[in-house]
Structure formats: structure tokens, C-alpha cells
């Protein structure tokens, strides 16, 4: 009886799961709409001078640099699985596929990268793991940066960080991957033909690279806030800490593609006691625009580079 109830409960969860993202998105959008309704006079009163425009322009350049750097770091992750991925290939593939995360489903950028790794000769398991390890290390990097730049005590965040850091250790990850490979072969009734994906060392270098990526993204956000309001040096670290946590939730919470809404709502909730709601609303709106422009610009640069290379070869 208990087994039947368990199966029935799993079926209910599987049916409700597709609607979960829409529930989260609806709640987030309602929160943002209420915040905008209550503070719309303050938002419309904000003006951007020439110095502010310069800050926004620099923020766009820093954010584009962050995505370029992230592509280079991703090539390090792929090499951890003994695949011949160089930095230029990683940047081009990353920028070209990154814009696809705004498509419904929020998985098409991962799909494009998996296919790209497979063209290097990697097995499907190796390709999938090399792609999925990137957001895992990004999450760890965001938590590390949030903890280092905050004076508060984050007990739950420390436990979550420890779990992520332990999960990518070779002594934990490799045996798990081996068991999954054996289970898959047993279910399919096949002998294990391909060796399971594995890493030979702890990915310290990619983790440090992802910390650099989140730092660059946080700097872009600080510059966006600076374009709207003068901030003191004492406010920079709390801004980076709040950005890191907001960006992390936008990465892991199932919601709108690209974390739209989740990041904005979290940033407003975390920074509402340090800045006026109108400034934060305007800042997250401008930063969303800057982030999207940087991703679209990166994809456009790769497209232009490929077209130019084709013309030179023809």
C-alpha cells in the first residue's frame, strides 16, 4: 500500500512540476509590480547625467568581458575531462549559445554546449557533465563571494557551499558517476562499453575562474547603481554580496528564462534597507538591459567573426 502511495505521489509531483515555474514567475512578477506601483513617482523622478551614462557604458563593457571570461573558464572545465578544448573555442561556443537561455525551457544553451563538446569526440555523459559542472561551480563562486563580502553569519549558505564543494571532489564524484554508468548499462541490458566520465583532480582553477566571473558581474552591477546614485566605499561590499545572492537565486530557482524576475525581486528584498526602492528598481531594470545587451553583443561578435572567417577562406 505504501509503495502504491509513493508511486501515486511521484506521479502527482511530475504532473505539477511543469506548472511550478509559472507559479514562481507569477509570484515574482506580482511582487515587482507592487513595488513599482508603490514607488513609481520615485522611479520616474530619477535622471541620468553624463557621468551616469559613462558608468552604464563601462558596466556594459565589464559585463561583456565577464561573459568572455566565463567562456574561457568553461574551456578549462571541459579540459578537466581530458577533452581538447582551447580557450578561443570555449569563448566562441559559450557566447554563441548563451543567448539561447532566454528561450522557453531555459535549457537550450546547455543543449548547444553539449553538442559542441560532443564534436570534440567526447561521449554524451562526458559532454553533459562538463556542461552541468559550470553552473555548479558558478553557484559555489557566488556563495563564496557573498560570504566574503558580507559581515553577516550565513549558516545555511555555508552548509550549502560545503555540499557543493564536496560534490565536485574526485573521491565523491568519480565513484558516483561509475555507479550511475553501471546502473544505466544494467537497465538497458548492455555491457559497459564506454568508461564513465571522471575528473583526475579537484577543479580549483575553474572554481577560481568562476569567482572572477561573479566578481566582474558584481562590478557591473555596482557601476549600474553608481550611474543612478552616489555610493560610498562602505556600500560596495554589501552591494556585491546582495548581487551574488540575487544572481545565485536567479541561476538555481526554476522560473523565467535567464533568471528574469527572480534576480530582480531578490535584489530589491536584500537592498531595500540600504537604498531607496526606486533606486534599486531602476538599477535592476538597467542591469537586466545591460546584461541582455552584453549577451546579445557577444553572440553577434561571434557571428561576425565566423562570417569574416568564411569570407577569408572562400
Task: Evaluate if residue 104 carries a pLDDT over 80.
Answer: no
- The mean pLDDT value for 18-22 works out to 52
Number of neighbouring beta carbons within 10 Å of residue 211 = 20
* pLDDT for position 226: 92
pTM score: 0.82
- More confidently predicted of 178 and 302: 302
The CA distances from residue 290 to 51, 247, 309, in Å, are 17, 14, 28
**pLDDT for 77 beyond 80:** yes
Please spell the DSSP secondary structure of 251-298, one letter per residue. Answer: HHS--SGGGTTHHHHHHHHHHTTTS-HHHHHHHHHHHHHHHHHHHHHH
Is residue 173 predicted with pLDDT exceeding 90? no
**Confidence grade of residue 275 (pLDDT, cut at 50, 70, 90):** confident
Q: Over the stretch 21-53, which tens digit does the pLDDT of each residue have?
A: 545 455 545 445 554 454 555 555 566 788 889
Q: Which residue has the higher pLDDT, 181 or 276?
A: 276
Note the pLDDT of residue 1.
Answer: 46
Percent of the chain clearing pLDDT 90 (strictly above): 29
Cα–Cα distances in angstroms (integers) from residue 97 to residues 15, 85, 114, 138, in the given order: 30, 16, 10, 17
So what's the pLDDT on residue 91? Answer: 95
pLDDT at 9: 47
- What is the residue-averaged pLDDT of the chain? 80
What is the average pLDDT across 210-225?
95
273 pLDDT band (50/70/90 cuts)? Answer: confident
pLDDT in tens, 111-157: 899 999 999 888 888 888 889 899 999 999 999 998 887 766 667 78
Stretch 246-266: mean pLDDT, rounded?
73
Q: Is the pLDDT of residue 257 over 70?
A: no
Which segment, 6-10, 71-75, 99-103, is predicted with the most confidence on average? 71-75
Q: 104, exposed or middle or buried, with CB in 10 Å at 0-12, 13-18, 19+?
A: exposed
Can you give the pLDDT at residue 191? 47
Question: What's the confidence (pLDDT) of residue 181?
Answer: 64
What average pLDDT score do residues 189-208 get? 76
pLDDT surpasses 80 at 313: no
* pLDDT higher than threshold 90 for residue 204: yes
What pLDDT is attached to residue 196?
A: 72
Amino acid at each position: 500500500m505504501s509503495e502504491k502511495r509513493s508511486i501515486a505521489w511521484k506521479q502527482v509531483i511530475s504532473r505539477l512540476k511543469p506548472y511550478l515555474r509559472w507559479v514562481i514567475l507569477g509570484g515574482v512578477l506580482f511582487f515587482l509590480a507592487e513595488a513599482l506601483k508603490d514607488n513609481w513617482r520615485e522611479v520616474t523622478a530619477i535622471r541620468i547625467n553624463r557621468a551616469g551614462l559613462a558608468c552604464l557604458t563601462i558596466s556594459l563593457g565589464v559585463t561583456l568581458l565577464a561573459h568572455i571570461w566565463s567562456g574561457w573558464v568553461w574551456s578549462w572545465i571541459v579540459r578537466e575531462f581530458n577533452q581538447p578544448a582551447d580557450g578561443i573555442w570555449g569563448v566562441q561556443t559559450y557566447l554563441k549559445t548563451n543567448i539561447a537561455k532566454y528561450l522557453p525551457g531555459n535549457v537550450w544553451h546547455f543543449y548547444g554546449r553539449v553538442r559542441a563538446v560532443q564534436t570534440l569526440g567526447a561521449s554524451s555523459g562526458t559532454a553533459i557533465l562538463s556542461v552541468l559542472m559550470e553552473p555548479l561551480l558558478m553557484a559555489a563562486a557566488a556563495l563564496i563571494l557573498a560570504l566574503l563580502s558580507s559581515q553577516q553569519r550565513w549558516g545555511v549558505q555555508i552548509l550549502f557551499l560545503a555540499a557543493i564543494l564536496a560534490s565536485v571532489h574526485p573521491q565523491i564524484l568519480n565513484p558516483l558517476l561509475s555507479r550511475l554508468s553501471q546502473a544505466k548499462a544494467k537497465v538497458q541490458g548492455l555491457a559497459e562499453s564506454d568508461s564513465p566520465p571522471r575528473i583526475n583532480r579537484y577543479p580549483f582553477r575553474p572554481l577560481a575562474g568562476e569567482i572572477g566571473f561573479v566578481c566582474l558581474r558584481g562590478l557591473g552591477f555596482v557601476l549600474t547603481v553608481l550611474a543612478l546614485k552616489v555610493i560610498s566605499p562602505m556600500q560596495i561590499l554589501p552591494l556585491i554580496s546582495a548581487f551574488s545572492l540575487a544572481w545565485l537565486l536567479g541561476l538555481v530557482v526554476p522560473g523565467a528564462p535567464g533568471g528574469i524576475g527572480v534576480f530582480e525581486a531578490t535584489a530589491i528584498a536584500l537592498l531595500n534597507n540600504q537604498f531607496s526602492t526606486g533606486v534599486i528598481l531602476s538599477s535592476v531594470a538597467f542591469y537586466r538591459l545591460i546584461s541582455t545587451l552584453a549577451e546579445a553583443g557577444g553572440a553577434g561578435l561571434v557571428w561576425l567573426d565566423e562570417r569574416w572567417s568564411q569570407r577569408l577562406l572562400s
